[in-house]
Amino acid sequence: MKWSIPITEGMHPGNLGCQACGGALSMRLALKGFGPDTIAVIPACCWSIIDGPWPVHALQIPVFHTAFETAAVVATGIKAAKAYQEKDVTVVAWAGDGGTFDIGLQALSGAAERNEDIVYVCYDNEAYMNTGIQRSSSTPIGAWTTTTPDERPELRPKKDIMGIMAAHAIPYAATACPAYPEDMLRKVRRAKETTGGMRFLHVLSVCPPGWKMSSERAIEAMRMAVRSRVFPLYEVVDGEDTTITYMPEEPVPPEAYFEMQGRFRPLLDDPDQLDQVKALIDKKWRSLVARHEATHGSPVAAD
């Protein structure tokens, strides 16, 4: 068997991530793809902690920690300086879902609209996990968080951040998940190598404490998110050309994904809402398949 994941590491062995942290795993994989000539910008998010307290630094690349809403624009400033100095370096904004979907959306949209030469990675654990599990606009419908308690769980579907980014017609946008490392690494490399503007990666990253599940099933949960079509793996080029990069041969029912996690108990207790959620997943999947077929002129082949 050929080992397709590089053994080189961009992270040091220790970090402050929780057990089975999807965000830490996403970073580890991403740095294998971005390589050493990379500068990261980290706004307020779990990774502000995971990196470690001064003088500890878990990464083998320079990191500029910044304010919550500024990842995209600080990366823009760094890239401008490096371009002025004629230094070739990949500048990566590395933000959580709160810093991307919510408070950072304005700066993100600005950078995307200007088509800045940066890579923006959102590691998405679907709530404000660092502050103790409060809902964000990435929190899926029917989920429990500390601000969407069982009596009033999340009522709105997850914001379509990929749709928003595609609407900016940036050269490259993709979803990824560290439970599919080869797919993710390929997309990281493509993001690094794509020229002509901004690249965006939306990386589903499991959070066992926030998702209310045991950590030994973390990878399995992310796989189930993909296999149930809750979180399809795909990429969008120039805001238009769409490719589903992983086609589950036999999709699993979304309940199988929801049932692994305590946070979806309110949803599972409400058959009507569960039906609505499943219909929504199906509708979004069909729309994605239609865009794939429109791009490629042929049906999606199963992996």
Binding residues for other proteins, rule: CB under 8 A, are 36-39, 41-42, 48-49, 51-54, 57, 59-67, 69-70, 73-85, 89, 106-107, 109-110, 113-114
114 or 192, CB closer to other proteins?
114
Query: What is the nearest approach in angstroms of other proteins to the Cβ of residue 258?
Result: 34
Query: What is the nearest approach in angstroms of other proteins to the Cβ of residue 79?
Result: 8
CB 258 within 8 A of CB 202: no
Three-state DSSP state, 143: coil
Nearest CA to 222 among 275, 166, 184?
Answer: 184
The single-letter DSSP state of residue 262 is G
CB 197 within 8 A of CB 170: yes
Strands (E) located in 158-301: 172-176, 199-204, 234-237, 241-244
CA 146 to chain centre: 22
- Rounded to whole angstroms, the Cα distance separating 210 from 21 reads 10
24 or 59, CB closer to other proteins?
59
14 or 271, CB closer to other proteins?
14
12 or 152, CB closer to other proteins?
12
Query: What is the nearest approach in angstroms of other proteins to the Cβ of residue 80?
Result: 4
25 or 108, CB closer to other proteins?
108
Query: What is the nearest approach in angstroms of other proteins to the Cβ of residue 286?
Result: 34
Query: What is the nearest approach in angstroms of other proteins to the Cβ of residue 115?
Result: 12
